[in-house]
Amino acid sequence: MAAKNIQELAESFMRTSSEKDFVELYKRIKPGIFNHCKSILVDVETAEDAVSNTMAKVWTKIAQYDPQRGNFSTWVYNIARNESLVIKKSEDKYMPIISEVVRESYDTDDHTPTEVNRFEEEHNYEQPLDFEQERMNNLYEDVLIKMKSLPEIYKEILYDREILKMKYQEIADKYGMKKRAVATRIRRARLKVREMFPGISLNFND
């Protein structure tokens, strides 16, 4: 008997609400959810926190999922994205405070200038961008804008691959598609983006 896919495991858990079904679902979906969270948060431990928050909501809110409105992977990935953004927003909120505390400590006897300089270098505070880096940043922003203008059948999948760096199989699971179909759409989407930037060599995640 073939193993159940993620959609089948999710619907089984909806019917039974059993811990056993939840554990099976968790095992199958955790790697993809973790990579999704890590692409937003970068830090491994913070990404693990986002995964835990996501799966806690799956446990308590599975009844809110409607299979008629979309596949389970899309639903749970949206939860993971929201949980990651909540954590990231919290981190971004406190980073300026941390920076200010470190700067104020510059004049105290407890911290030497060397320690402060090292902290700022590690976090790139007030480090000027050179011209080439600025040009690449502008190109990156332009590519993101053009990606958003793609037809819906290409836009989300290309975003998952290029920005979130999801694997082909993870994307296939997310949208309930075959891996080959995902690869075809990504290839066509990349071609469309390249056509928008004639004369510029764009490198994608291959």
pLDDT tops 50 at residue 36: yes
pLDDT at 91: 64
CATH topology of domain 1-91: Rna Polymerase Sigma Factor; Chain: A (1.10.1740)
> For 55-72, how does the pLDDT look when each residue is reduced to its tens digit (9 = 90+)?
999 999 999 999 998 889
CB 204 within 8 A of CB 183: no
Residues 6+ apart with CB under 8 A from 50: 37, 40, 41, 80, 83, 84, 87
pLDDT tops 90 at residue 125: no
End-to-end CA distance of the chain: 34
Using a pLDDT cut of 90, give the percent of the chain over it. Answer: 21
Q: Locate 48 and state its tokens.
A: 């693990």
Please state, in angstroms and rounded to a whole number, the distance separating the CA atoms of residues 126 and 157: 35
pLDDT tops 50 at residue 28: yes
Q: Locate 133 and state its tokens.
A: 């880096």
Domain boundaries 131-199, CATH class:
mainly alpha
* CA dist list (Å): 43 to 28, 34, 62, 194: 22, 11, 28, 32
Please state, in angstroms and rounded to a whole number, the distance separating the CA atoms of residues 160 and 169: 11
Give ranges for CATH 1.10.1740.10 in the chain: 1-91
Q: Locate 121 and state its tokens.
A: 């270098």
68-82, 101-115, 122-136, 137-151: least confident range: 101-115
Give ranges for CATH 1.10.10 in the chain: 131-199
pLDDT tops 70 at residue 97: no
Please state, in angstroms and rounded to a whole number, the distance separating the CA atoms of residues 136 and 143: 10
